[in-house]
Chain A
Amino acid sequence: MSAGACGHVLFFTSAAAFRAEKLCCSAGIAGARLVPVPRDLSSDCGVALRFSLEPGKARASVAAVEALLTEASVPFERTVAE
Chain B
Amino acid sequence: MKLGGDRIVYLDNAATSWPKPAAVGEAMAEFLRDSGGNPGRSGHRLSIAAGRIVSCARDAVASALGMSDPLRIAFASNATAALNTALYGFLGPGDRVVADGMAHNAVARPLTELGRRGVQVDWARTDRAGRLDLDHLESLARSLPSSGATKGRPPARMIIVTHGSNVSGALVPLSEAAGIAHRLGAVLLVDAAQTAGLEDIGLGTLGCAAVVAFTGHKAMLGPPGTGGLAFGPGVEVDSFAPFVRGGTGSSSGSEDQPAFMPDRFEAGTVNGPGLAGLLAGLRWMEERGRSAVRRAELQAIGRLVDGIRAIPGATVHGPGSREPRCAVMSFTLAGWSVSDLALELDERYGVLCRVGLHCAPRAHRSLGTFPEGTARLAPGPFTTTDDVDYTLGAIGELAVERKYGP
Q: Report whether over half of chain A's contact residues are helix, strand or loop; otherwise say mixed.
A: mixed
Question: Can you list, as one digit per residue, whether each of A4-45 has a CB less than 8 Å from chain B (1) or not (0)?
Answer: 000000001111111101100000000000111100000011
Q: Is B94 an interface residue (CB 8 A)?
A: no
Q: Is B151 an interface residue (CB 8 A)?
A: no
Q: A35: which B residues are within 8 A, CB to CB?
A: 43
With A14-B250, A19-B70 in contact, do A47 and B43 touch (Cβ < 8 Å)? yes
With A36-B44, A37-B43 in contact, do A13 and B248 touch (Cβ < 8 Å)? yes
With A47-B48, A73-B69 in contact, do A15 and B43 touch (Cβ < 8 Å)? no
With A15-B58, A44-B253, A45-B250 in contact, do A75 and B44 touch (Cβ < 8 Å)? no
Q: Is A74 an interface residue (CB 8 A)?
A: yes
9-residue interface stretch from B49-57, B177-185, B344-352: B49-57
Residue of B nearest to A42 (CB): B253
The answer to whether A13 and B258 touch across the interface, beta carbons within 8 angstroms, is: yes
With A13-B263, A15-B55, A19-B55 in contact, do A44 and B250 touch (Cβ < 8 Å)? yes
The answer to whether A18 and B251 touch across the interface, beta carbons within 8 angstroms, is: no
Q: Identify B252's interface contact among A19, A44, A47, CB under 8 A.
A: A44
| Interface range for A | 20 to 34
CB distance from A35 to the nearest CB of B (A): 7
Q: Is B249 an interface residue (CB 8 A)?
A: yes
CB distance from A80 to the nearest CB of B (A): 16
Q: A18: which B residues are within 8 A, CB to CB?
A: 40, 51-52, 54-55
What's the Cα separation between A37 and B252 when bound, in Å? 14
What's the Cα separation between A24 and B95 when bound, in Å? 44
What's the Cα separation between A12 and B56 when bound, in Å? 19
What's the Cα separation between A36 and B43 when bound, in Å? 4
Q: B39: which A residues are within 8 A, CB to CB?
A: 14
Q: B314: which A residues are within 8 A, CB to CB?
A: none
B287-338 interface (Cβ within 8 A of A): none
The answer to whether B44 and A15 touch across the interface, beta carbons within 8 angstroms, is: no
Q: B55: which A residues are within 8 A, CB to CB?
A: 15, 18-19, 21-22
Q: A47: which B residues are within 8 A, CB to CB?
A: 40, 43, 47-48, 51
CB distance from B339 to the nearest CB of A (A): 46
CB distance from A31 to the nearest CB of B (A): 15
- Give me the interface of A with B, judged by CB distance under 8 Å: 12-19, 21-22, 34-37, 44-47, 73-75
With A13-B250, A22-B55 given, name 18 new contacts (CB 8 A): A12-B250, A12-B258, A12-B260, A13-B40, A13-B258, A15-B54, A15-B71, A15-B262, A18-B55, A19-B58, A44-B251, A44-B253, A46-B40, A46-B43, A47-B43, A47-B47, A73-B69, A75-B260
